[in-house]
Amino acid sequence: MRINKEVEYALKNNLPVVALESTIISHGMPYPKNVETAMKVEAEVRENGAIPATIGIIDGEPVIGMSPEEIEEFGKRSGIKKVSRRDIPVVIAKKEWGATTVSATMIFAALAGIEIFVTGGVGGAHRGVQETFDISRDLEELGSTNVTVVSAGVKAILDLKVTLEILETKGVPVLSYQTDEFADFYTRHSGIKMENIVNSPAEIASIIKAKRDYKLDGGILVANPIPQEFAMDDVVINGAISKALKECEDKHIEGKDVTPFLLKRIVELTGGDSLESNIKLVINNAKLGAKVAKELCELRK
C-alpha cells in the first residue's frame, strides 16, 4: 500500500485519522459535484481536528490518503471499477483503478491502522431479500473487520429491519447518536427504536476502546441521523424510492449495479434534492467521525 506521508506520520504518533471511501466519488455522484463533495468532506474532517485519508486503488496499488489531484482524476475518469472484498485481488493483479466500497475501505483502513471510517450509508439487506438473497458484503465486513463506521444508518433503499437483525447476529454494536430512533439516511424517522443510545464522541470512543481491549473482533456501526434542516420529506423520498425500486425490477438490474441505479434514479425523481441531502449527511458524519477519532487518541495516550 502507498500511505500518504501526512497520514503515516499521524498514525505513528497517535494523531486522529479518518478514513473515507472512493466509491462515493466514482459511483455516487456526477462530476464535478463528486469531487467538490469529496474535498468538502476532507475539509470538514480537518476543521474538526483529524487527518482525512481518502482510500482508493490506482494502477493496482491501494492508496491510503489520496491527493487532491488523484481525487480529481477519480471524479473524471470513466470505467473505474466498484471494488468490494472479492474484487480487490483482481483489480490489484490487473493493475486497474478501483473505487473502494464500504467493505473494501474497511479492509484497507484496518491494514493501515485506521479505526474510524466515515461514509454516507452502509449497505445491507435489499428489499425482497427473502427471494433474492441480495445482502451487501458490508455486513460481513462489519462482523469481522476492526473498524468503526460512522454513517447515517444504512442506505434508505434497503430493508432496515432485516439489516439490523443480521448485524445483531454478527455481534456488531449499533450505536444511535443522540436519538432513540435508527437513522433513516434521508430522514430521521425510521420508526425503529434503538437500544444503545450514545450522546457524545467521548462515549463512542470509550465503547470502541472497550471492544478493542477485550479483543472482540469486528466493527461498530455509529448511526448518525441527518440534521433536521437537511432531512427530506418522508412522503416525497419514500415515493421516489418505491418508484425507483419498481423501475429497477422492470429493467432486471441486479447485483452491484442495483445501488448506483437506484441512487441515481432517486436523484432524478426528487429533482436533485436527495443528492443535496446526501452531501449534507456525509459532511455531518465527517464532523462526528473526526471528533470520535480525537477522543479515541486521547484515550490511547
Helix crossing, 234-250 with 273-300: angle to 10°?
Answer: 100
104 in Cβ contact with 110 (< 8 Å) = no
Active site residue 94: no
SS3 content of the chain, % helix, strand, coil (to 5): 50, 15, 30
Active site residue 155: yes
Give the total residue count for the chain.
301
What CA–CA distance (Å, rounded) separates 269 from 237? 9
Q: Identify the CA nearest to 54 among candidates 148, 63, 46.
A: 63
Q: Identify the CA nearest to 193 among candidates 218, 164, 221.
A: 164
Question: Which of 44, 72, 141, 155 is labelled catalytic?
Answer: 155
- DSSP three-state, residue 3: strand
What CA–CA distance (Å, rounded) separates 296 from 7? 16
Partners of 175 in the β-ladder: 222
Q: Which residues of 60-87 are buried (b: 16+ CB within 10 A; e: fewer)?
A: eebbbbbeeebbbbbbeeeebbbbbbeb
Q: Give the number of other CB atoms < 10 A from CB of residue 213.
A: 9
- DSSP three-state, residue 222: strand
SS3 of 44-88: HHHHCCCEEEEEEEECCEEEECCCHHHHHHHHHCCCCEEECHHHH
Which residues are part of the catalytic machinery?
Answer: 21, 155
